């Protein structure tokens, strides 16, 4: 199977999309709706760093898209389209097909059109998924709006296994528009992501209760990555969405400082550049 045949197969399985022009030209054409801001995010998934070949190809494809969709959820957006760059070793047309089967299944479920991509060869599997989402003008959730007195929540138990499928919290993100004062997705661990939210907001945090996933540990819930839950803040008397857990309060203090049960909690989550997983 050559590149053209493979792309044709992916194109036909992508189905009908709301794009003006989909896969097959130099660019895809997308017509934005009036009154919307667009959100852009991109995430890499690299064999050996973010996954191993023990992960089935369909699950790898789904996961590659889900990680970027989680960023769209964290901004309160609805996904509109994605582009997918994929490099694989040797003659792995079947692996690529199954990767796209998994990716496109999640894309259809979430209304994300496949707008284009790029296929190449490499020694290890490498992929990069860019997602463009939309939000009513001025209503995107950001990480810099938390204020002292705000209550801090997470959308689920933390420290989950990275081998489970990711369920991007898109519906919750939409529901938090106009309600949450700040929001971020938990991709690199609670301690690091809460530190980032507080640093951006120029505030500090006191947390005292963290919901731990079954068969996990408090250590993993505090510092493990790849949870893909939302971490968000509500004004002091804001009504939390069902299923969310209050973990603490935003306080005055050194920007980015986080205390857990009164003791400093260092940001020990995953830094992609200084540490290996």
The nearest distance, CB 235 to its own copies, in angstroms, is 20
Q: Distance of alpha carbon 92 from its chain centroid, rounded?
A: 27
Site string for its own copies, 180-219 (x = CB under 8 A): ----xx--------------x-------------------
128 forms part of the interface with its own copies (CB under 8 A)? yes
The nearest distance, CB 80 to its own copies, in angstroms, is 10
3-state secondary structure (DSSP) of residue 108:
helix
The nearest distance, CB 222 to its own copies, in angstroms, is 19
The nearest distance, CB 169 to its own copies, in angstroms, is 12
13 forms part of the interface with its own copies (CB under 8 A)? no
Residue closer to its own copies (CB basis): 122 or 259: 122
Cβ-based neighbours of 34, under 8 Å, separated by 6 or more: none
The nearest distance, CB 256 to its own copies, in angstroms, is 10
Structure letter (DSSP) for residue 51: B
N- to C-terminal Cα separation, the chain = 35
143 forms part of the interface with its own copies (CB under 8 A)? yes
For the record, the structure tokens of 49 come out as 């760093």
Rounded distance, CA 38 to CA 137, Å? 9
The nearest distance, CB 43 to its own copies, in angstroms, is 5
Contacts (CB under 8 A) with its own copies, residues 167-186: 184-185
Residue closer to its own copies (CB basis): 123 or 217: 123
Yes or no: say if 238 and 76 are a contact pair by the CB < 8 Å rule: no
Site string for its own copies, 54-93 (x = CB under 8 A): -----------------xx-xx-x---x-xxx-x-----x
Give the pairing type, strands 245-251 and 204-207.
antiparallel
Q: What are the angstrom distances between the C-alpha of 137 and each of 34, 50, 130, 235?
A: 9, 34, 21, 22
- Length of the chain as a residue count: 277
Q: What is the DSSP string of 211-240?
A: PBPTT--HHHHHH------EEEEE-TTPPP
Site string for its own copies, 29-58 (x = CB under 8 A): xxxx-x-xxxxxxxxx-x-xxx--------
Rounded distance, CA 37 to CA 194, Å? 26
Residues in contact with its own copies by the rule CB under 8 A: 1-4, 6, 20-21, 24-32, 34, 36-44, 46, 48-50, 71-72, 74-75, 77, 81, 83-85, 87, 93, 115-124, 126, 128, 130, 132-133, 135, 137, 140, 142-144, 184-185, 200, 271-274, 276
């Amino acid at each position: 199977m050559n590149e053209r045949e493979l792309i044709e197969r992916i194109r036909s399985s992508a189905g009908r999309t709301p794009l003006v022009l989909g896969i097959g030209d130099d660019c895809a054409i997308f017509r934005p709706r009036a009154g919307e801001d667009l959100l852009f995010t991109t995430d890499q998934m690299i064999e050996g760093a973010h996954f191993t070949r023990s992960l089935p190809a369909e699950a790898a494809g789904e996961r590659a898209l889900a990680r970027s969709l989680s960023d769209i959820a964290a901004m309160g957006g609805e996904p509109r389209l994605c582009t997918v760059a994929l490099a694989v070793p040797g003659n792995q047309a079947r692996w690529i097909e199954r990767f796209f089967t998994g990716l496109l299944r999640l894309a259809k479920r979430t209304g994300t059109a496949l707008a284009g991509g790029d296929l190449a060869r490499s020694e290890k599997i490498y992929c990069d998924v860019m997602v463009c989402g939309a939000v009513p003008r001025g209503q995107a959730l950001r990480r810099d709006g938390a204020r002292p007195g705000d209550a801090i929540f997470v959308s689920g138990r933390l420290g989950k296994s990275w081998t489970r499928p990711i369920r991007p919290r898109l519906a919750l993100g939409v529901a938090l528009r106009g309600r949450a004062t700040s929001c971020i997705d938990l991709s690199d661990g609670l301690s690091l992501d809460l530190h980032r939210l507080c640093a951006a907001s120029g505030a500090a945090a006191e947390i005292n209760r963290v919901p731990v996933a079954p068969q996990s540990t408090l250590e993993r819930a505090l510092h493990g990555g790849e949870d893909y839950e939302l971490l968000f803040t509500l004004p002091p008397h804001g009504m939390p969405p069902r299923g969310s857990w209050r973990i603490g309060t935003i306080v005055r203090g050194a920007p980015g400082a986080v205390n857990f049960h009164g003791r400093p909690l260092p940001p020990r989550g995953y830094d992609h550049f200084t540490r290996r997983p």
